[in-house]
Amino acid sequence: MDVGVQQFVALSGVLFAIGLYTALAKRNAIAVLMGVEIMLNAVNIAFVAFSRFIRGEDPLAGQVFVVFTLTVAAAEAALMLAIAVAIYRGRESVEVDEITDLKA
């Protein structure tokens, strides 16, 4: 059995839907962050799949986009975790509904 681009795109779509549901439905800031990371990884899977199966002028274009996406995801995760720790120290909670402003 050969795995084609359709299976990778389907996997990417399912992971993106799971990440979107997690980011929108959860109240915990860490769970929202995990949902965003799942969505970014789903996009990475799609980039690599299209780069592998669709030959264009530059065969490494998908991998280059993935490197940039991973860099942005790492920076976003570090920043969000720092914000979550700062909010937890000030308010003793990381629930998104309880955070109404960013004053300390």
Residue 7: what pLDDT?
92
104 in a structural domain:
no
Q: What is the mean pLDDT of each run of 10 residues along the chain (104 residues)?
A: 87 96 88 90 89 76 83 88 80 70 57
Please report, for residues 21, 65, 86, 98, the alpha-carbon distance to residue 92 in angstroms, rounded to integers and kept in the order given. Answer: 26, 38, 10, 10
103 in a structural domain:
no
13 in a structural domain:
yes
Instruction: State the burial class of residue 58 (Cβ atoms within 10 Å of its Cβ: 0-12, 13-18, 19+).
Output: exposed
What is the domain-level CATH number for residue 11? Answer: 1.10.287.3510
Give me the helices (H) in 1-104, please: 5-25, 29-53, 61-91
Number of domains the chain contains? 1
18 in a structural domain:
yes
Contacts of 9 (CB under 8 A, 6+ apart): 46, 49
Q: Which two tokens stand for residue 57?
A: 């002028």
Q: Which domain holds residue 31?
A: 5-98
59 in a structural domain:
yes
67 in a structural domain:
yes
Q: Find out whether 97 and 29 touch, Cβ atoms under 8 Å.
A: no
88 in a structural domain:
yes
d(CA 69, CA 12): 15
Residue 11: what pLDDT?
94
36 in a structural domain:
yes
Residue 64: what pLDDT?
83
Residue 25: what pLDDT?
92
Tokens 């439905």 belong to residue: 25
